[in-house]
Structure 1
Amino acid sequence: MTHRAVTAASQRASRPHPLVVLVRALVVALLAAAAVLGVALAFAPPPAVAATSVPIEAAEPGAASVAWPETARAAGYAVVGVDGAAEAWGSDEAHPMASITKLVTVLVVLDAHPIEGDDRGAEITLGRPDLVALGEALADNAPIAPVYDGMVVTQRDLMEWALVDSAGNAAWSLANWGFGSIDAFLDASAAWAERHGLEQTSLADPIGLSARSVSSAADLTRIGLLAVADPVVLATLQLEEVAIPGIGIAPSTNRILGEGFVDGGKTGTLKVWGRNLFVTAERVVDGEPRRIVAVVMGTIAADETDEAMLTLLDSLWDDFQRRTIVPAGTVVAEFRAPWGATTTASTLSDLDADVFGAQQPTATAEAGAVEPGAPRSEVGQASLTDHDGETSSTPVRADGMLAAPDLAWRLTHPVDVVGWYFD
C-alpha cells in the first residue's frame, strides 16, 4: 500500500477557492432571503378596500295630475313647504291682477311695518287725501269703507277692509300711510318685487283698478306663498266677515271660503280683463296637514271661476302620496381591489318618503372600507329626507365577500405586497 504524504502544499490545493466560498454563501443567503420573501409575500395581510360611491338609481317619479281650468287664460298652484312643487299653466305673460293687487299692497306695507301676533299695528289718523281716495273709489264703483276726516283706524283695520271686503280706499290709505305717498309706495313695491324675484309683477296703483297693475300666474303663486307664510296675512285672508263702521258686517268676497278645504283667499275683477281668484286650502292627508295656494286668472262668470278653482284643488290632493324612493337592493357603493377582486354594497330595505307629484327627494349613502376575505357585513347606511324634514335610513350591506389576492398575484407584485406591511 502506497501512502501519499500530506504536505502544506497539498492541503492548500484541496481547499475551495475563496471566491467559490463567497459565491456559495451568496447563493445560500439569496435562497434564504427568497424563502423569507416568499413567506412574507404569501402571508402579507391585504389592506381594506375603500368604497366608491355609485349614483343611486331612484324609482321613477310620478307626475302631478292637474285639472287645469280650460276656461281660464292662466292658472297656477304651489305646495307650501315643498320645493319644486309648483306649476303654472296657460299664458305665461303678465296680466291685470285686479283686486288681488290689494294683497300685494298689504305684503309691501307689512314688509316695512310688520305686525306681530294679535297686535293691531299702528294707529292711523285719516285726512283729506283719504276722503279723495274714497270719492275716487265710489266713482269707479269699487267697494269702499266709509271714512271721515280725523277718523282713527289701525293698520290692521285697513288690511282687513282691503282683503276681506276688498275696499279700494282702505288699500289706498294703507299704502299712502306706509310710505308717505303713492309714488313712494310704488317705488317700494317695485323694489319688493325685484327682491323676491317677481319679474312679471308690477304695480301702477295700490288697488288694482289700473290694468297696468299686473302679474303672471307663476308670480302670483309665489306671492301666495309669501302671503300664507305671514300669520297676520293668512289670518286676515281666512276671515269670513269683517265689521266696517258705517256699513256693518261685510262678508268675504271669496264665495268659496269653507268649500273644498278652502280657508282663505282674495278675489279680483276688472271689466277690461275678467275675473281672478287666489285661494289657499289646507287638508289633512295621511295624518299630515298639507297647504296649497292656487290662482285662476281671466275667467268670465263668477260661478265658472269658483268651479274651476275647486276642480283644480280637488285634482291636487291625490298627488300627495308616500312612495318608495330607493327600493331595497339598490346598489350604492362598489369596492375594487388592486388585485382585481370586486364586490358591491346595497340597501337592505326600502327608503320611503312623503312626496307630491313628481317631487323626488335626494338620497345619500355612506359606506366604509371592506376587509378582503371577511364575511359580508353591514358597511354603512343610506338616508333620505323628505320635505317635512323627516329622515329615514337603512343599513347598507356588502353583497358578497371581497376575495383576497391569490399567491400568483402576490408573487408578481412584490413591491405592492411588501408595502402592505408599512401601510
Structure 2
Amino acid sequence: MTVTAATQRARRPHPLVVMLRILIALVLVGVVALGAAVLLAPTPVVAATPVTPDVEPLPEPSIDWPTTARAAGYGVVGIDGGADSWATTGSDEAHPMASVTKLVTVLVVLEARPIEGDDRGETITLDDDDVRALTRAIAENAPVAPVRSGMQVTQRDLIEWSLVDSAGNAVWSLANWAFGDIDAFLAAADDWAARHGFEHTDLDDPAGLEAGSVSSADDLTRIALMAVEDPVVLSTIQLESVRIPGIGFAPNTNRLLGQHDIDGGKTGTLKVWGRNLFVTAIREVDGVERRVVGIVMGTIAADETDAAMVQLLESVWPNFGSRTILAEDTVVAEYRAPWGATTDAVTTGALEAHVFADHAPGWTSTTEPIEAGSTGTAVGEVRLDAGEVAAPVRTTGMLLAPDVWWRVTNAPQVLGWYWS
C-alpha cells in the first residue's frame, strides 16, 4: 500500500481517544496506589478503656457497743496512708465534755503556739490571775497544781499538769497565756471547731468545769484521732505520772493506762452529767502495729466506765486483717479496636492489703496501648492508692488485626491512620 499523508492521518488515534486512554491509565494507577495505601496503612495502637470490676464486698465492722454509755465511738488511725475511719453509737447530740475539754484546749493552744520535738516550749511567768484560777479550781473541788505569783513554768509543764493530773488551774493558765485572756481563747476555740468541722463542740471554759463545754461522740472521736497524731499530746497522755511542785509525782488519772494495750487517754467527770473517757491503744496485728481510739460518754461509776471502754476496744481489734482487694484474673481494662477486635487486661496476681473491716484503700490501674497481633502482653499494673502494693496486668489474648475486607470498606478511616 502506498503511504500518503492522507493514510497517515487516517491511522493516527483521535486526540480524545488518546486523552481517554491516558485518563483510564491514570485511574488504574490511582486505584492500585489507593488500594495499596489502604492495604498497607499502618495499624494504629489501641488504648485501654478502664473497667470497673465486680469485687467481693469486704465485711462491715463488727463492734460490741457498750449499753451502759449514753454515747460511744471508736476511731482507727489511717492504715497505710489512708484516711482515718470512725463510727459512733448512742446519742448524737452535744453533751458536757467535763475534763476531756482540757484535751480540746491543749489542741487549740498547740495550733497557735506549737512545740517542736522534745522542747519544753516557752517559759511563762505566772501572776495573780493564775493564783485566782487556782482558788476557783479548789472551790470546784477540781484537781490543782499549786502555783504562786511570779512562779516560772514552761508551756509543756502546764500541758502535762492539765492532761496527766487534770489540774484545772493549769489549763486555765495555759489558755490565758496563749491568747491573752479567756474571752480571746474561747473565740479561738470557736474558730478552731468551725474550721475542723466539729459542729457540736463548744467551749464555755478551758477546763470543762462548766456544763456548757460540750461535744458529741462523733466530734470527740475525731478530736481523739487528731490528738494521737500530735506528738506532743500523744507523748503527754502516755505519761504514767507527772511531777508537780509542792505535790510531788501525781499519777495519770486514766486508770486503764497500761492495760489492754491502752497507752494513753484523758478522763472527765462532771456531777451534772457523769463520766467521760477517751483512751488510745496500740496493738500488733498480723505483724503490724495499729492504733485506735475510744470514746465513752455519760457513764456513772468509774468501774462501769472502764468496763465499757474495754468491751468496746476489745471488739475493735478483730476487725483488722489482710483482705483481697482485687483477686487474680480480675478484668481491669478492655482493649476495643475500631475494627471490632477486643481483648481484656487482667491482674496476674492478687492485690492484697491489711485493712480495717470494709475500710479498704482505693486502687488505680495504669495500662499501655498495644499493637494488633500482640498476645499475652504485660501492659501495666494495678496499685493501691496508699502504699507500695501492686500487681501486674496482662492481656488475655491476641488483639486481631483488621482484615482486608474491613480495610477496603472503611478506606477513609484507614487512610486517616497515616496522619494519626
Q: Give the TM-score taking structure 1 as reference length.
A: 0.91
Measured in 1, the distance between the counterparts of 2:337 and 2:118 equals: 66
Q: Is the 8 A contact 2:45 2:371 kept in 1?
A: yes
Q: Is the 8 A contact 2:364 2:385 kept in 1?
A: no
Structure 1: unaligned runs, 5 residues or longer: none
- Out of 392, 400, 405, the position equivalent to 2:402 is 405
Q: What displacement does 1:18 show?
A: 4.0
1:118-267 pair list within 5 angstroms: 118-267=118-267
Q: Is the 8 A contact 1:56 1:363 kept in 2?
A: no
1:372-391 pair list within 5 angstroms: 372-386=372-386, 390-391=387-388
Q: What displacement does 1:129 show?
A: 2.7
Letter in 1 for 2:16: L
2:16 corresponds to: 19
1:340 corresponds to: 340
Q: Any idea what the Cα deviations from partners look like across 1:119-138, whole Å, max 9, x if unmatched?
A: 33333333333332222222
Structure 2: unaligned runs, 5 residues or longer: none
Pair 1:65 & 2:80 matched: no
2:411 corresponds to: 414
Q: What displacement does 1:17 show?
A: 4.0
Q: Is the 8 A contact 2:275 2:297 kept in 1?
A: yes
- Out of 70, 74, 80, the position equivalent to 2:71 is 74
Q: Is the 8 A contact 1:72 1:298 kept in 2?
A: yes
Q: Give the TM-score taking structure 2 as reference length.
A: 0.92
Q: Is the 8 A contact 2:77 2:84 kept in 1?
A: no
2:96 corresponds to: 96
Measured in 1, the distance between the counterparts of 2:18 and 2:317 equals: 95
Q: Any idea what the Cα deviations from partners look like across 1:15-65, whole Å, max 9, x if unmatched?
A: 554434443443344334433433433333322222222235444232121
**Given the superposition, is the C-alpha separation of residues 35 and 128 from structure 1 closer, same or farther in structure 2, using an over 3 Å criterion?**
closer
Q: Any idea what the Cα deviations from partners look like across 1:267-295, whole Å, max 9, x if unmatched?
A: 00111111100011111222222111221
Q: What displacement does 1:415 show?
A: 2.1
- Out of 33, 40, 53, the position equivalent to 1:43 is 40
Measured in 1, the distance between the counterparts of 2:40 and 2:130 equals: 95
- Number of positions where the alignment pairs a residue of Structure 1 with one of Structure 2: 417
Q: What displacement does 1:84 show?
A: 4.5
Q: Is the 8 A contact 1:85 1:357 kept in 2?
A: no
Q: Secondary structure at the match of 1:220?
A: helix
Letter in 2 for 1:232: V
1:53 corresponds to: 50
2:86 corresponds to: 86
Q: Is the 8 A contact 1:84 1:359 kept in 2?
A: no
1:269 corresponds to: 269
Letter in 1 for 2:401: A
Q: Is the 8 A contact 2:70 2:297 kept in 1?
A: yes
Q: Any idea what the Cα deviations from partners look like across 1:274-332, whole Å, max 9, x if unmatched?
A: 11000111112222221112211011111111111111111111222221112222222
1:363-374 pair list within 5 angstroms: 363-374=363-374
More off after superposition, 87-96 vs 6-15: 6-15
Q: Any idea what the Cα deviations from partners look like across 1:91-136, whole Å, max 9, x if unmatched?
A: 1111100011111122222233322333333333333333322222
Q: Is the 8 A contact 2:186 2:203 kept in 1?
A: yes
Letter in 2 for 1:131: V
Q: Secondary structure at the match of 1:391?
A: coil
Letter in 1 for 2:215: S
Q: Any idea what the Cα deviations from partners look like across 1:58-79, whole Å, max 9, x if unmatched?
A: 4423212122111111111222
- Identical positions, percent: 61
Q: Is the 8 A contact 1:49 1:371 kept in 2?
A: yes
Q: Secondary structure at the match of 1:116?
A: coil
**Given the superposition, is the C-alpha separation of residues 410 and 150 from structure 1 closer, same or farther in structure 2, using an over 3 Å criterion?**
closer
Q: Secondary structure at the match of 2:219?
A: helix
**Given the superposition, is the C-alpha separation of residues 332 and 285 from structure 1 closer, same or farther in structure 2, using an over 3 Å criterion?**
same
**Bigger Rg, which one:** 1
Q: Is the 8 A contact 1:99 1:267 kept in 2?
A: yes
Pair 1:396 & 2:382 matched: no
Letter in 1 for 2:406: W
Measured in 2, the distance between the counterparts of 1:359 and 1:296 equals: 23
2:28 corresponds to: 31
